Amino acid sequence: MSDVTARPGREPLVLADLLPGALVRDVLLVAGAAGLTGLLAQVSFHLSFTPVPVTGQTLAVLLSGTALGWLRGTAAMVLYALAGVAGVPWFAGHSSGYASASFGYIVGFVACAALCGYLAGRRADRHLLTCVPAMLAGEVALYAFGLTWLAIDLHTGPAETLSLGLTPFLAGDAVKAALAAALLPAAWRLTRR
């Protein structure tokens, strides 16, 4: 995974590059980010009018992709998705598998982490004014997959799909994006870089 780390003598690209080590560090970070996503998935509740639960996963995805960079962040979300499909009960409500209307959001986690990590590698995570748009771009990618899967699974049109899979979550996801966008520049300030 060396293509995402800073070269010797150069500034680190993402927060994870500040940690010593290479392969062992990357494996631990990927597994840890997948685990954090699974943990925050358990912070969930269902709304009576939609099959999509409200969870803490989005915060984990935004932080993981941005702090780890595109390659490690993507690997973490692929690990999370594949392990869940294989039966690890760490999707929302201790569920697993892909036979649900909300699985598209989990696929979207991969795209979200990749995009946020890519933008972080271009220093979008260093300042609040650049981090907020990076987080919002990641959420747009996440919703593109989630809403598409939801519409196909439930056979709904655009208006119903948006009312089931987007509208109820906008305020919460805005808070998660704002929190992630505040934490990352703060972490960079703590490292004095």
Measured CA to CA, the distance from residue 111 to residue 190 in angstroms comes to 28
For 138-169, write each residue's pLDDT tens digit.
Answer: 999 999 999 999 999 999 999 999 999 999 99
Name the average pLDDT for the chain. Answer: 89
Q: Is 10 helix (H, G, I), strand (E, B) or coil?
A: coil
For 39-98, write each residue's pLDDT tens digit.
Answer: 999 999 888 999 999 999 999 999 999 999 999 999 999 999 999 999 999 999 899 998
Measured CA to CA, the distance from residue 68 to residue 150 in angstroms comes to 29
Q: How many CB atoms lie within 10 A of CB 27?
A: 14
What is the share, in percent, of the chain residues with pLDDT greater than 90? 70
Q: Please give the pLDDT value at position 14.
A: 81
Q: Is 91 helix (H, G, I), strand (E, B) or coil?
A: strand
Show the domains of the chain with their CATH numbers: 2-191 (1.10.1760.20)
For 4-43, write each residue's pLDDT tens digit.
Answer: 444 555 566 787 777 777 888 889 999 999 999 999 999 9
